[in-house]
Amino acid sequence: MPTSDPLLEVAGLSIRIAAGQGNLVDDVGFAVGRGETLCIVGESGCGKSLTGLSLMGLLPTPPAQVAGGSVRFEGRELLGLSQAALGDLRGDRMAMIFQEPMTALNPAFTIGDQIAEGVERHRATGRRAARNRALEMLEKVGIPAAASRLDAYPHQLSGGMRQRAMIAMALANDPQLLIADEPTTALDVTIQAQVLDLIRDLQRDTGTALILITHDLGVVAEVADRVAVMYAGRIVEEGPVGAIFDDPQHPYTIGLIGSLPGLESGRGARLVTIPGMVPAPEAMPQGCRFADRCPFAIPRCAEAPALRALAPGHRVACHRAPLEDNVAAEEAA
Ligand SMILES: Nc1ncnc2c1ncn2[C@@H]1O[C@H](COP(=O)(O)OP(=O)(O)OP(=O)(O)O)[C@@H](O)[C@H]1O
Ligand SMILES: [Mg+2]
Protein backbone atom coordinates (compact mmCIF):
# COMPACT_ATOMS: atom_id res chain seq x y z
CA MET A 1 0.00 0.00 0.00
CA PRO A 2 0.98 3.66 -0.18
CA THR A 3 4.19 4.84 1.35
CA SER A 4 3.66 6.96 4.45
CA ASP A 5 3.98 10.21 2.55
CA PRO A 6 3.06 9.54 -1.07
CA LEU A 7 3.59 12.22 -3.66
CA LEU A 8 0.45 11.15 -5.48
CA GLU A 9 -2.47 9.20 -4.08
CA VAL A 10 -5.30 8.16 -6.36
CA ALA A 11 -8.41 6.55 -4.88
CA GLY A 12 -11.69 5.34 -6.33
CA LEU A 13 -11.06 7.11 -9.63
CA SER A 14 -13.86 6.47 -12.12
CA ILE A 15 -14.25 7.93 -15.59
CA ARG A 16 -17.08 7.50 -18.02
CA ILE A 17 -17.76 8.67 -21.54
CA ALA A 18 -21.47 8.16 -21.92
CA ALA A 19 -24.26 7.71 -19.42
CA GLY A 20 -25.56 4.15 -19.37
CA GLN A 21 -22.19 2.62 -20.15
CA GLY A 22 -19.88 0.97 -17.67
CA ASN A 23 -17.09 3.19 -16.34
CA LEU A 24 -14.11 3.10 -18.71
CA VAL A 25 -11.93 3.67 -15.67
CA ASP A 26 -13.52 2.08 -12.62
CA ASP A 27 -12.53 2.54 -9.00
CA VAL A 28 -8.84 2.88 -9.77
CA GLY A 29 -6.45 3.56 -6.91
CA PHE A 30 -2.68 3.63 -6.49
CA ALA A 31 0.01 5.67 -4.85
CA VAL A 32 3.35 6.97 -6.10
CA GLY A 33 6.13 7.88 -3.72
CA ARG A 34 8.72 10.59 -4.34
CA GLY A 35 11.25 9.50 -6.92
CA GLU A 36 9.39 6.23 -7.52
CA THR A 37 8.57 4.70 -10.91
CA LEU A 38 5.13 3.18 -11.37
CA CYS A 39 4.42 1.43 -14.65
CA ILE A 40 0.83 1.04 -15.81
CA VAL A 41 0.33 -1.83 -18.24
CA GLY A 42 -2.61 -3.50 -19.95
CA GLU A 43 -4.13 -4.14 -23.36
CA SER A 44 -5.13 -1.39 -25.73
CA GLY A 45 -8.30 0.34 -24.59
CA CYS A 46 -8.08 -0.67 -20.91
CA GLY A 47 -8.05 2.94 -19.72
CA LYS A 48 -4.37 3.74 -19.23
CA SER A 49 -4.41 7.03 -21.12
CA LEU A 50 -7.70 8.18 -19.62
CA THR A 51 -6.20 7.53 -16.19
CA GLY A 52 -2.99 9.43 -17.02
CA LEU A 53 -4.80 12.38 -18.55
CA SER A 54 -7.22 12.69 -15.65
CA LEU A 55 -4.37 13.09 -13.16
CA MET A 56 -3.34 16.30 -14.90
CA GLY A 57 -6.82 17.59 -15.64
CA LEU A 58 -6.33 16.89 -19.34
CA LEU A 59 -9.29 14.61 -20.03
CA PRO A 60 -11.27 15.64 -23.08
CA THR A 61 -14.45 16.78 -21.28
CA PRO A 62 -16.82 16.25 -22.98
CA PRO A 63 -17.06 13.45 -23.85
CA ALA A 64 -15.11 12.11 -20.88
CA GLN A 65 -16.27 12.81 -17.35
CA VAL A 66 -14.81 11.99 -13.96
CA ALA A 67 -17.57 10.09 -12.19
CA GLY A 68 -15.90 9.96 -8.81
CA GLY A 69 -12.77 9.49 -6.77
CA SER A 70 -9.87 11.46 -5.52
CA VAL A 71 -6.46 12.51 -6.86
CA ARG A 72 -4.24 13.93 -4.14
CA PHE A 73 -0.93 15.43 -5.23
CA GLU A 74 1.44 16.77 -2.59
CA GLY A 75 -1.45 16.57 -0.16
CA ARG A 76 -3.81 18.64 -2.30
CA GLU A 77 -6.97 17.39 -4.00
CA LEU A 78 -6.77 17.97 -7.75
CA LEU A 79 -10.19 16.77 -8.86
CA GLY A 80 -12.43 19.78 -9.04
CA LEU A 81 -9.61 22.33 -9.30
CA SER A 82 -10.16 25.02 -11.90
CA GLN A 83 -8.31 24.79 -15.22
CA ALA A 84 -6.39 27.90 -14.14
CA ALA A 85 -5.15 26.21 -10.97
CA LEU A 86 -4.31 23.03 -12.90
CA GLY A 87 -2.50 25.13 -15.48
CA ASP A 88 -0.30 26.47 -12.70
CA LEU A 89 0.65 22.91 -11.73
CA ARG A 90 1.13 21.53 -15.23
CA GLY A 91 4.59 22.01 -16.61
CA ASP A 92 5.70 23.00 -13.14
CA ARG A 93 5.09 20.55 -10.28
CA MET A 94 3.84 17.88 -12.69
CA ALA A 95 4.40 17.35 -16.38
CA MET A 96 3.34 14.93 -19.06
CA ILE A 97 4.93 13.58 -22.20
CA PHE A 98 3.09 11.77 -24.96
CA GLN A 99 3.64 9.27 -27.73
CA GLU A 100 3.26 12.00 -30.31
CA PRO A 101 5.41 15.06 -29.50
CA MET A 102 3.24 17.34 -31.62
CA THR A 103 0.53 16.86 -28.97
CA ALA A 104 2.69 19.03 -26.72
CA LEU A 105 4.67 21.17 -29.16
CA ASN A 106 3.18 24.07 -31.05
CA PRO A 107 4.21 24.00 -34.73
CA ALA A 108 4.10 27.80 -34.94
CA PHE A 109 6.79 28.57 -32.35
CA THR A 110 10.46 27.71 -32.08
CA ILE A 111 11.56 25.05 -29.62
CA GLY A 112 13.53 27.63 -27.63
CA ASP A 113 10.56 30.00 -27.31
CA GLN A 114 8.25 27.20 -26.19
CA ILE A 115 10.58 25.95 -23.48
CA ALA A 116 11.43 29.49 -22.35
CA GLU A 117 7.77 30.44 -22.19
CA GLY A 118 7.07 27.60 -19.78
CA VAL A 119 10.00 28.64 -17.63
CA GLU A 120 8.95 32.29 -17.58
CA ARG A 121 5.40 31.39 -16.76
CA HIS A 122 6.19 29.20 -13.76
CA ARG A 123 9.35 30.76 -12.41
CA ALA A 124 9.86 34.39 -11.63
CA THR A 125 12.60 34.76 -14.18
CA GLY A 126 13.21 37.17 -17.01
CA ARG A 127 13.39 36.37 -20.69
CA ARG A 128 17.15 35.94 -20.78
CA ALA A 129 17.30 33.52 -17.85
CA ALA A 130 14.43 31.54 -19.33
CA ARG A 131 16.22 31.28 -22.65
CA ASN A 132 19.37 30.14 -20.88
CA ARG A 133 17.36 27.48 -19.12
CA ALA A 134 15.92 26.36 -22.47
CA LEU A 135 19.43 26.01 -23.84
CA GLU A 136 20.57 24.11 -20.76
CA MET A 137 17.62 21.72 -21.16
CA LEU A 138 18.28 21.11 -24.85
CA GLU A 139 21.87 20.25 -23.97
CA LYS A 140 20.70 18.01 -21.14
CA VAL A 141 18.44 15.99 -23.42
CA GLY A 142 21.28 15.48 -25.87
CA ILE A 143 20.21 17.66 -28.76
CA PRO A 144 23.36 18.36 -30.78
CA ALA A 145 24.21 21.98 -31.61
CA ALA A 146 21.64 22.99 -29.00
CA ALA A 147 22.32 26.72 -29.35
CA SER A 148 21.27 26.72 -32.99
CA ARG A 149 18.31 24.38 -32.34
CA LEU A 150 16.79 26.93 -29.98
CA ASP A 151 15.55 28.74 -33.06
CA ALA A 152 14.35 25.64 -34.90
CA TYR A 153 10.65 24.96 -35.43
CA PRO A 154 9.37 21.51 -34.46
CA HIS A 155 9.03 20.39 -38.09
CA GLN A 156 12.72 21.04 -38.64
CA LEU A 157 13.63 18.30 -36.14
CA SER A 158 13.56 14.51 -36.59
CA GLY A 159 11.00 12.48 -34.63
CA GLY A 160 13.58 11.47 -32.03
CA MET A 161 14.79 15.07 -31.63
CA ARG A 162 11.21 16.32 -31.28
CA GLN A 163 10.68 13.76 -28.54
CA ARG A 164 13.80 15.05 -26.79
CA ALA A 165 12.56 18.63 -27.14
CA MET A 166 9.23 17.68 -25.57
CA ILE A 167 11.08 16.01 -22.68
CA ALA A 168 13.22 19.15 -22.28
CA MET A 169 10.06 21.24 -22.08
CA ALA A 170 8.39 18.86 -19.61
CA LEU A 171 11.38 18.78 -17.29
CA ALA A 172 12.45 22.42 -17.54
CA ASN A 173 10.87 23.36 -14.21
CA ASP A 174 12.01 20.23 -12.32
CA PRO A 175 8.59 18.61 -11.85
CA GLN A 176 8.02 16.31 -8.91
CA LEU A 177 5.98 13.98 -11.11
CA LEU A 178 6.37 13.10 -14.77
CA ILE A 179 3.62 11.14 -16.51
CA ALA A 180 4.86 9.51 -19.70
CA ASP A 181 2.22 7.89 -21.92
CA GLU A 182 3.91 5.50 -24.38
CA PRO A 183 6.70 8.04 -24.82
CA THR A 184 8.79 5.89 -27.15
CA THR A 185 6.24 3.81 -29.07
CA ALA A 186 6.34 5.96 -32.20
CA LEU A 187 10.14 5.90 -32.44
CA ASP A 188 12.34 3.29 -34.04
CA VAL A 189 13.93 0.77 -31.73
CA THR A 190 17.41 2.27 -31.27
CA ILE A 191 15.97 5.73 -30.66
CA GLN A 192 13.43 4.21 -28.25
CA ALA A 193 16.25 2.88 -26.09
CA GLN A 194 18.07 6.23 -26.16
CA VAL A 195 14.99 8.22 -25.20
CA LEU A 196 14.13 5.81 -22.41
CA ASP A 197 17.67 5.94 -21.04
CA LEU A 198 17.46 9.72 -21.19
CA ILE A 199 14.24 9.79 -19.15
CA ARG A 200 15.79 7.49 -16.56
CA ASP A 201 19.01 9.48 -16.30
CA LEU A 202 17.13 12.74 -15.84
CA GLN A 203 14.86 11.07 -13.32
CA ARG A 204 17.83 9.83 -11.33
CA ASP A 205 19.46 13.27 -11.37
CA THR A 206 16.38 15.15 -10.27
CA GLY A 207 14.49 12.64 -8.11
CA THR A 208 11.35 13.06 -10.20
CA ALA A 209 8.70 10.39 -9.74
CA LEU A 210 7.58 8.72 -12.96
CA ILE A 211 4.33 7.15 -14.07
CA LEU A 212 5.19 5.27 -17.23
CA ILE A 213 2.34 3.96 -19.35
CA THR A 214 3.63 1.30 -21.70
CA HIS A 215 2.86 -1.87 -23.64
CA ASP A 216 6.46 -2.94 -23.41
CA LEU A 217 6.95 -5.47 -20.62
CA GLY A 218 10.69 -5.53 -21.23
CA VAL A 219 10.79 -1.84 -20.37
CA VAL A 220 8.61 -2.45 -17.32
CA ALA A 221 10.97 -5.13 -16.02
CA GLU A 222 13.86 -2.76 -16.47
CA VAL A 223 12.54 0.51 -15.04
CA ALA A 224 9.57 -0.08 -12.73
CA ASP A 225 9.62 -0.03 -8.95
CA ARG A 226 5.94 -0.90 -8.90
CA VAL A 227 3.53 -2.12 -11.56
CA ALA A 228 -0.22 -1.64 -11.90
CA VAL A 229 -1.92 -4.05 -14.30
CA MET A 230 -5.19 -2.77 -15.76
CA TYR A 231 -7.91 -4.78 -17.42
CA ALA A 232 -11.08 -3.25 -18.86
CA GLY A 233 -10.81 -0.12 -16.76
CA ARG A 234 -9.85 -1.70 -13.46
CA ILE A 235 -6.59 -2.41 -11.71
CA VAL A 236 -6.53 -6.19 -11.38
CA GLU A 237 -3.12 -6.46 -9.75
CA GLU A 238 -0.59 -4.05 -8.33
CA GLY A 239 2.69 -4.60 -6.60
CA PRO A 240 6.46 -4.41 -6.58
CA VAL A 241 7.95 -5.25 -9.97
CA GLY A 242 9.59 -8.41 -8.61
CA ALA A 243 6.29 -9.78 -7.31
CA ILE A 244 4.45 -9.00 -10.55
CA PHE A 245 7.00 -10.82 -12.71
CA ASP A 246 8.01 -13.64 -10.36
CA ASP A 247 4.76 -14.30 -8.54
CA PRO A 248 1.86 -12.92 -10.57
CA GLN A 249 -1.46 -13.82 -8.97
CA HIS A 250 -4.22 -12.52 -11.23
CA PRO A 251 -5.00 -14.90 -14.11
CA TYR A 252 -4.76 -11.94 -16.48
CA THR A 253 -1.30 -10.98 -15.24
CA ILE A 254 -0.25 -14.61 -15.41
CA GLY A 255 -1.39 -14.61 -19.03
CA LEU A 256 0.57 -11.47 -19.80
CA ILE A 257 3.75 -12.57 -18.11
CA GLY A 258 3.43 -16.09 -19.48
CA SER A 259 3.08 -14.69 -22.95
CA LEU A 260 6.20 -12.60 -22.62
CA PRO A 261 8.67 -13.81 -25.23
CA GLY A 262 12.29 -13.78 -24.04
CA LEU A 263 12.29 -11.25 -21.23
CA GLU A 264 16.10 -11.50 -21.23
CA SER A 265 16.10 -9.87 -24.61
CA GLY A 266 14.60 -6.91 -22.80
CA ARG A 267 13.09 -4.03 -24.67
CA GLY A 268 10.70 -4.65 -27.46
CA ALA A 269 8.83 -7.51 -25.83
CA ARG A 270 5.13 -6.74 -26.16
CA LEU A 271 1.88 -7.87 -24.69
CA VAL A 272 0.50 -10.85 -26.53
CA THR A 273 -3.24 -11.17 -26.83
CA ILE A 274 -5.00 -13.64 -24.58
CA PRO A 275 -7.86 -15.52 -26.36
CA GLY A 276 -11.23 -13.79 -26.15
CA MET A 277 -12.21 -10.16 -26.13
CA VAL A 278 -12.35 -7.28 -23.71
CA PRO A 279 -15.99 -6.53 -22.85
CA ALA A 280 -17.48 -3.56 -24.71
CA PRO A 281 -18.25 -0.45 -22.63
CA GLU A 282 -21.98 -0.98 -23.07
CA ALA A 283 -21.71 -4.60 -21.96
CA MET A 284 -19.43 -4.42 -18.92
CA PRO A 285 -20.24 -7.33 -16.62
CA GLN A 286 -21.22 -6.52 -13.02
CA GLY A 287 -18.73 -9.04 -11.71
CA CYS A 288 -15.11 -9.67 -12.61
CA ARG A 289 -14.53 -8.11 -16.03
CA PHE A 290 -12.01 -10.82 -16.95
CA ALA A 291 -14.24 -13.78 -16.00
CA ASP A 292 -15.36 -14.78 -19.49
CA ARG A 293 -11.75 -15.11 -20.65
CA CYS A 294 -10.50 -16.65 -17.45
CA PRO A 295 -9.58 -20.34 -17.33
CA PHE A 296 -10.04 -20.28 -13.54
CA ALA A 297 -13.45 -18.60 -13.36
CA ILE A 298 -15.98 -19.94 -10.81
CA PRO A 299 -19.60 -18.90 -10.18
CA ARG A 300 -18.50 -16.44 -7.50
CA CYS A 301 -16.75 -14.38 -10.20
CA ALA A 302 -20.19 -12.94 -10.99
CA GLU A 303 -19.45 -10.73 -7.95
CA ALA A 304 -16.77 -8.12 -8.55
CA PRO A 305 -13.65 -9.05 -6.58
CA ALA A 306 -12.10 -6.30 -4.44
CA LEU A 307 -8.40 -5.52 -4.64
CA ARG A 308 -6.93 -7.12 -1.55
CA ALA A 309 -3.42 -7.48 -0.23
CA LEU A 310 -1.86 -10.93 -0.57
CA ALA A 311 1.50 -9.76 0.68
CA PRO A 312 2.67 -6.34 1.85
CA GLY A 313 2.26 -3.97 -1.09
CA HIS A 314 1.00 -6.70 -3.44
CA ARG A 315 -2.72 -6.42 -4.19
CA VAL A 316 -4.87 -8.63 -6.37
CA ALA A 317 -8.52 -8.44 -7.45
CA CYS A 318 -9.32 -12.14 -7.83
CA HIS A 319 -11.50 -14.41 -5.71
CA ARG A 320 -9.18 -17.32 -6.42
CA ALA A 321 -5.91 -15.75 -5.33
CA PRO A 322 -3.56 -17.15 -4.14
CA LEU A 323 -4.26 -19.17 -7.20
CA GLU A 324 -1.96 -22.16 -6.84
CA ASP A 325 -2.98 -22.89 -3.24
CA ASN A 326 -6.66 -22.51 -3.96
CA VAL A 327 -6.68 -24.56 -7.14
CA ALA A 328 -4.77 -27.35 -5.38
CA ALA A 329 -7.13 -27.26 -2.35
CA GLU A 330 -10.22 -27.29 -4.54
CA GLU A 331 -8.89 -30.19 -6.59
CA ALA A 332 -8.14 -32.17 -3.43
CA ALA A 333 -11.64 -31.55 -2.03
N1 LIG B 1 -12.56 10.75 -26.48
C2 LIG B 1 -13.10 9.54 -26.39
N3 LIG B 1 -14.35 9.27 -26.84
C4 LIG B 1 -14.90 8.04 -26.75
N5 LIG B 1 -14.28 6.99 -26.19
C6 LIG B 1 -13.04 7.17 -25.73
C7 LIG B 1 -12.37 8.43 -25.79
N8 LIG B 1 -11.14 8.31 -25.24
C9 LIG B 1 -11.05 7.01 -24.86
N10 LIG B 1 -12.18 6.33 -25.14
C11 LIG B 1 -12.43 4.91 -24.85
O12 LIG B 1 -12.05 4.67 -23.51
C13 LIG B 1 -11.39 3.41 -23.38
C14 LIG B 1 -10.04 3.61 -22.74
O15 LIG B 1 -9.24 4.39 -23.60
P16 LIG B 1 -7.71 4.73 -23.29
O17 LIG B 1 -7.29 5.66 -24.36
O18 LIG B 1 -7.56 5.18 -21.89
O19 LIG B 1 -7.03 3.30 -23.48
P20 LIG B 1 -5.48 2.90 -23.40
O21 LIG B 1 -5.37 1.87 -22.33
O22 LIG B 1 -4.65 4.12 -23.26
O23 LIG B 1 -5.24 2.21 -24.81
P24 LIG B 1 -3.95 2.24 -25.78
O25 LIG B 1 -3.02 1.22 -25.21
O26 LIG B 1 -4.51 1.84 -27.10
O27 LIG B 1 -3.38 3.62 -25.77
C28 LIG B 1 -11.36 2.82 -24.76
O29 LIG B 1 -12.43 1.92 -24.87
C30 LIG B 1 -11.56 4.00 -25.67
O31 LIG B 1 -12.19 3.60 -26.86
MG1 LIG C 1 -3.29 5.07 -24.48
- In tens, the pLDDT along 105-145 reads 999 999 999 999 999 999 988 999 999 999 999 999 999 99
Show which of 108, 143, 174 is a domain's final residue: 174
For residue 332, tell me if it sits in a domain: no
Domain membership of residue 318 (yes or no) is: no
Rounded distance from Cα 16 to ligand 1 centre (Å): 10
Instruction: Give the CATH number of the domain where residue 241 resides.
Output: 3.40.50.300
Of the pLDDT bands very low, low, confident and very high (cuts 50, 70, 90), residue 264 is very low
Cα 170 from Cα 94, distance rounded (Å): 8
Residues 8-34 have a mean pLDDT of 94
| Minimal-distance CA residue to ligand 1 atom 30 | 45
Distance 51 CA to ligand 2 centre (A): 9
- Say how many Å lie between the CA of residue 282 and the centre of ligand 1: 14
Residue nearest to atom 3 of ligand 1 (CA): 63
Residue nearest atom 22 in ligand 1 by C-alpha distance: 49
Angle (CA) 109-113-119 rounded to 5° is 135
The tally of domains found in the chain comes to 2
Residue type, 227: V
Same domain (yes/no): 211, 270: yes
pTM exceeds 0.75 for this model = yes
The model's confidence at residue 273, banded by pLDDT at 50, 70 and 90, is: low
SS3 96: strand
Q: What does pLDDT average to over the chain? A: 90
209 and 127 share one domain = no
> Which residue range forms the structural domain that includes residue 138?
94-174
- Ligand 1: residue of 14, 49, 220 to mutate (most ligand atoms within 8 A of CB) is 49
**Does residue 15 fall inside a structural domain?**
yes
Residue 140 CA to residue 35 CA, distance in Å, equals 19
326 vs 229, more confident: 229
Q: Confidence band (pLDDT; 50, 70, 90) for 262?
A: very low
Are 193 and 166 in the same domain? no
- Do 195 and 260 lie in a common domain? yes
Q: What distance in angstroms lies between residue 139's CA and the mean position of ligand 1's atoms?
A: 35
Residue 75 sits in the same domain as residue 209: yes
Are residue 144 and residue 204 in the same domain, yes or no?
A: no
Q: What is the pLDDT of residue 259?
A: 57
Neighbour tally for 277: CB within 10 Å = 10
Rounded CA-CA distance 233/284 in Å is: 10
Same structural domain, 68 and 99: no
Confidence of residue 21 (pLDDT cuts 50, 70, 90): confident
- Going by alpha carbons, the residue nearest to atom 17 of ligand 1 is 49
Q: Which of 15, 24, 184, 185 to mutate to test the pocket of ligand 1 (most atoms within 8 A of CB)?
A: 24
294 falls within a domain: no
Pocket of ligand 1 (CB under 6 A): 17, 24, 42, 44-50, 60, 63-64, 281
> Do residues 27 and 102 both lie within one domain?
no
Asked if pLDDT for residue 269 goes beyond 70, the answer is no
Averaged pLDDT for residues 30-54: 95
Query: For 54-84, how does the pLDDT look when each residue is reduced to its tens digit (9 = 90+)?
Result: 999 999 988 999 999 999 999 999 999 999 9
Predicted confidence band at 191 (pLDDT cuts at 50, 70, 90)? confident
User: What local confidence, expressed as pLDDT, does residue 267 receive?
Assistant: 44
161 and 206 housed in the same domain: no
Confidence at residue 330, expressed as pLDDT on a 0 to 100 scale = 77
* Whole-angstrom distance, CA of residue 126 vs CA of residue 111: 18
| pLDDT given at position 271 | 47
**Are 270 and 253 contacting, i.e. CB atoms less than 8 angstroms apart?**
no
Any idea which of 150-154, 168-172, 215-219, 262-266 has the lowest mean pLDDT? 262-266
Q: Which residue among 118, 149, 174 closes a domain? A: 174
The answer to the question of residue 167 being in a domain is: yes
Give the pLDDT score at 4.
59
In this predicted structure, what is the pLDDT of residue 240?
97
- Alpha helices in the chain, H assignment, sequence order: 48-55, 83-89, 111-122, 127-140, 146-149, 159-171, 189-206, 217-223, 241-246, 251-258, 323-332
- Give the C-alpha separation, 186 to 139, whole Å: 23
136 within a domain of the structure (yes/no): yes
- pLDDT surpasses 50 at 270: no
Same domain, yes or no: 66 and 200: yes
Mean pLDDT of 155-178: 94
Provide the residues around ligand 2 (an ion) whose CB is within 5 A.
Answer: 49
Quick check: is 12 in a domain? yes
Are residues 4 and 148 located together in one domain of the fold?
Answer: no
Q: Give residue 20's pLDDT.
A: 78
Question: Quick one: pLDDT at residue 124?
Answer: 84
Is residue 304 situated within a structural domain?
A: no
| pLDDT above 90 for 192 | no
